[in-house]
Amino acid sequence: MKEASGNKKKSNFKEDRKKGEVKKRPNLKKGFDDSKEKVKSDADKKSESKEAIPKTSYPPKKEWVKTDFKKGSGSKKDIDKGDKRKKSGENQKKNEFGKKPDYKGDFKKGIAKSRGFIKGEKSSSESINKKGKGKAQSEEIRLNRYLSIAGICSRREADDLIKAGIVKVNGNIITEMGYKVQPGDIVNYGGQTLKPERHVYVLLNKPKDFITTRSDPQDRRTVMNLIAKATKENIYPVGRLDRMTTGVLLFTNDGDLTRKLTHPSSEIEKIYHVYTDKVVRHDHLIQIQEGIELDDGMIKADKVKYVGNGEDKKQVGIEIHSGKNRIVRRIFEHLGYKVIKLDRVVFAGLTKKDLPRGKYRILNEQEVGTLKML
């Protein structure tokens, strides 16, 4: 059958080309080159017309090379020594000796300084006392705070001393509230010239037969003999323990903290281990916790129970926040018991753990911070 008129035979390109029926394909590359030359010639004409306009000079391009990371040379290294901006930057980074600073070493040195590992540098605990000794020497400070830093008393109590007119500055009696001490001023109290001190906090595991006082007219042994080598600062005991009572005792020259820890409104936690001469009745424990009427008023414990599993009912643990004199002994004596031994095991969260009897230690910054947040 004949093919339909609408359909055309598929042409064989090679055969048609031999017969001359197909023209040669256009040289696309040549046309592209011609157009490129035309664009280039147009650009040259424009550049010739702008010869009068000076060209802006730019700094040479930086050359970059791949880094040998095995040698630990860091990231890409700039080897363009002719870059003026780079040179000026290097000169700025050089120290006074013409050497590049050791940033890593300086960082480590800064940490060592802050922790007091470098000889002659202040430790971080001393740096906290900028409000203390350093502040008094470098800038003005309120007189009541000056007295507190010197370890005389709290700021509130210092206000009373100032009102009473017993504090002198540069030989003049000061009664003005809010008076500020200037650098170089001489402050006198009780006939002595005061010097601001850094705050120190010492914890002692007090043994028996030592009096909790700074001095004794009868020349008996005091707790100050036990901590004589702890610090050169003028510290004192916070609260008191009876002569035969043992356990945790805090010393400091921080007047504000002392007032906070000893004021009844603070309700500071104190836990005692009581040894009695006979078995303590359970109903008496209930009575102690509910409240007992003593000569100086009603007193009650926060918690009271037998020590351990309760097998030895002569040993009682009592938690109380009252700071009255001999309060624990008086409670048990009121109920007919004799306290053979009394040991304070906790005071304001501080314990005698790993601290032998008669030994002391300096509180760390975390412990001091906890005390100040009570």
Instruction: Please choose, from the candidates 311, 310, 321, the residue with its C-alpha nearest in 3D space to the C-alpha of residue 344.
Output: 321
Instruction: Please choose, from the candidates 150, 153, 141, 148, the residue with its C-alpha nearest in 3D space to the C-alpha of residue 179.
Output: 141
Is residue 179 a contact partner of residue 142, using CB atoms and an 8 Å limit?
yes
- Burial category of 1 from C-beta neighbours within 10 Å (exposed 0-12, middle 13-18, buried 19 and up): exposed
Q: Which residues are catalytic?
A: 242
Cβ neighbours of residue 189 closer than 8 Å, sequence gap 6 or more: 147, 150, 152, 161, 166, 167, 168
Q: What is the greatest pairwise CA distance in the chain?
A: 146
